[in-house]
């Protein structure tokens, strides 16, 4: 303790306590009229409560009490922020705590610490902490998308609340705001994100439970929109022949021919780069930053896929950039409308086939016709697949089996083309 603190403590220990007329309690008028003096002094209210008036004119409520045989002081607060009535209530509470064997000063410190912890562990801080941790496994675009949703649809309404203070009706009201603007799918996704934040808080000891299961059935049912796809074998054969006879640019035709053989997402196909493709080892390694799930993905290349890529390399390989560059600039990937425009030019409507339709085609026929193992198909579709212990498989999982499956798939597509004439 410094010299100033020691001197002030001694001063207050010896400060005069003014009796208010035969032990009478204080009145508001007495408190308001109390002015500063050369030395600090106290106005007693009874039960150990007094108002301390300093030479600077500040007025602080304090309570003198004994605990474990020692005299102690409890600071209740400054007047007039704490009124006389409120100071007396605080005194009664302290007396109740003493009767229960609780030190009021320690109880106050514990409450303040709990409030500080609750503020640090509010929804905003935990949500952003969870997001930062998860971002390591996500692509940049998906990371930004989730953060925008949190900042726009959650933080303005529950960001300052500790998670245990958030009730199911409160959360439902937040989700209703999203639902009411016609974004039913977004409302369900934000509910999922909120649930992940809650479970993270539970795991790290900052929440009791995840409340999102309490909202089951409360939101409007989202109707999944499936991408149009050609999945009947005879129609697939005719469709493939149309792709191989497409009379547009060579680059678009190559992309159309390769799409069913690799069945990656349209964006992943358009952004393919030569540095990712190893024609000798017959693999295409897509980095995590380009993948929706934020995990590296390996696409085994069939013999037919290699032939298409070798021919395309003669056209665009010397740029060492995009496999399917834009017609306007080799520094930009093919337009996202290129394949769709090709479909329309061939008379294929959006109700029949889309760029994503190649994935549905492969998923259906590999399972129902070729009877490939579902987990191999899901791996190759780059869907989230977990092992029996709930851990995500790495990118090389079942690679030899997937390589054989991709070749069987390519051979099957050739058979369909041949049958279709």
Known catalytic residues? Answer: 265, 292, 356, 359, 383, 393
Question: Residue 261 corresponds to which tokens in the numbers above?
Answer: 């053989």
Peptide bond into 80 cis (omega under 30): yes
Residue 77 to residue 196: CA distance in whole angstroms: 41
Residue reference for tokens 């309570």 = 63
Residue 71 to residue 340: CA distance in whole angstroms: 84
Residue 362 to residue 380: CA distance in whole angstroms: 10
288, 295 contact by CB (below 8 A): yes
Q: Give backbone dihedrals phi and psi of 29, rounded to 5 degrees, phi first.
A: -65, -45
Question: Residue 10 corresponds to which tokens in the numbers above?
Answer: 């001694």
In 3D, which of 59, 7, 6 has the Cα closest to residue 28?
Answer: 59
* Strand 277-278 versus strand 70-79 pairing type: unpaired
């Amino acid at each position: 303790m410094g010299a100033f603190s020691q001197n002030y403590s001694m001063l207050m220990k010896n400060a005069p306590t003014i009796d208010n007329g035969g032990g009478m309690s204080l009145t508001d008028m007495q408190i308001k009229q109390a002015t500063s003096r050369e030395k600090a002094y106290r106005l007693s209210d009874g039960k150990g409560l007094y108002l301390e008036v300093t030479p600077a004119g500040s007025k602080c409520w304090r309570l003198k009490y004994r605990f474990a045989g020692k005299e102690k002081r409890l600071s209740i607060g400054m007047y007039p922020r704490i009124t006389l009535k409120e100071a007396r209530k605080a005194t009664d509470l302290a007396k109740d705590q003493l009767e229960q064997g609780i030190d009021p000063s320690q109880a106050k410190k514990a409450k303040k610490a709990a409030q500080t912890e609750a503020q640090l562990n509010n929804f905003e801080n935990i949500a952003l902490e969870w997001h930062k941790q998860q971002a390591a496994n996500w692509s940049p675009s998906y990371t930004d998308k989730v953060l925008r949703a949190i900042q726009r649809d959650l933080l303005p309404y529950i960001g300052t609340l500790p998670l245990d203070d958030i009730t199911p009706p409160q959360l439902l009201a937040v989700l209703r705001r999203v639902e009411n603007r016609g974004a039913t799918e977004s409302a369900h996704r934000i509910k999922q994100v909120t649930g992940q934040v809650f479970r993270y808080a539970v795991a790290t000891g900052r929440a009791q439970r995840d409340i999102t299961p309490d909202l089951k059935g409360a939101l409007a049912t989202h109707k999944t929109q499936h991408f149009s796809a050609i999945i009947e074998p005879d129609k697939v054969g005719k469709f493939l022949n149309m792709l191989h006879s497409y009379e547009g640019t060579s680059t678009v035709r190559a992309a159309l021919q390769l799409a069913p053989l690799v069945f990656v997402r349209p964006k992943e196909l358009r952004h393919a780069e030569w540095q990712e493709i190893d024609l000798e080892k017959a693999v295409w390694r897509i980095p995590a930053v380009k993948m929706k799930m934020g995990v590296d993905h390996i696409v085994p290349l069939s013999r037919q896929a290699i032939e298409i890529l070798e021919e395309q390399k003669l056209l665009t390989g010397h740029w060492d950039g995009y496999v399917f560059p834009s017609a306007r600039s080799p520094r930009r990937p093919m337009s996202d409308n290129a394949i769709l425009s090709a479909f329309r030019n061939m008379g294929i409507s959006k109700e029949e086939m889309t760029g994503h339709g190649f994935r549905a085609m492969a998923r259906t026929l590999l399972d129902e016709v070729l009877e490939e193992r579902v987990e191999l198909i899901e791996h190759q579709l780059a869907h989230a697949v977990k092992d029996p212990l709930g851990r995500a498989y790495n990118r090389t999982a079942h690679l030899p089996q997937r390589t054989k499956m991709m070749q069987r798939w390519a051979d099957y597509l050739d058979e369909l083309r041949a049958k279709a004439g």
